[in-house]
Amino acid sequence: MTDRHRPDGIDPAARSRARRRALQALYAWQVARAPVEQVIAQFQHEQDMEVADLAYFEDLVRGVGQHAAGLDARLAAFLDRGVEAVDPVERAILRIAAYELLHRPDVPYRVVLNEAIELAKRFGSDQGHTYVNGVLDKAAASWRAAEAGAARSR
């Protein structure tokens, strides 16, 4: 275990890289409509996955692929347009963050939001990060009310 790992063994930088790779993979999945397992295999083969948390990458891609319809339905309450009208990059970011908020309670909601905003700044449209932030701030307040409320009262 190196200095960059937390006491629980998680490497935050490797998780961030896993999210970036998952975003790229899910964008490709949305466009190509290929099976999730095929997209994962392609990214494992083509991308430099040694520096990313491979297990986390796979969990995000499989999780979003498996739960996409449910994630979209849950996100719809916080969107100002239909899910399909959201920019494809921002849609993939929102789906990843929604999956983490709903299915990965081990990841603090602030980490989920910060990572999603950084992805949107790097890969999204000019003001995409503000849209992602607004949607996810409302979603986190609803889906993780106790955690978000405790953080806001500090």
Q: What is the pTM of this model?
A: 0.89
Domain segments of the chain as ranges: 12-152
Superfamily name with CATH number, domain 12-152: NusB-like (1.10.940.10)
What is the per-residue DSSP string for the chain?
--TTS-TTS--HHHHHHHHHHHHHHHHHHHHH---HHHHHHHHHHHS-GGGS-HHHHHHHHHHHHHHHHHHHHHHHTT-SS-GGGS-HHHHHHHHHHHHHHHH-TTS-HHHHHHHHHHHHHHHS-TTHHHHHHHHHHHHHHHHTHHHHHHHHT-
Assess whether pLDDT exceeds 70 at residue 3: no
Q: Are 49 and 21 in contact (CB under 8 A)?
A: yes
In the numeric block, the tokens 């999603």 are attached to 116
Q: Over pLDDT 70: what percentage of the chain? A: 88
Measured distance CA(97)–CA(37) in Å, rounded: 20
State residue 52's pLDDT score. 80
Q: What is the mean pLDDT of residues 100-107?
A: 97
Amino acid 51: pLDDT: 73
Degrees to nearest 5, angle at CA 75 with 21 and 120: 35
d(CA 14, CA 140): 24
pLDDT at 151: 64
pLDDT tens for each residue of 26-62? 999 998 888 889 888 888 776 666 678 889 999 999 9
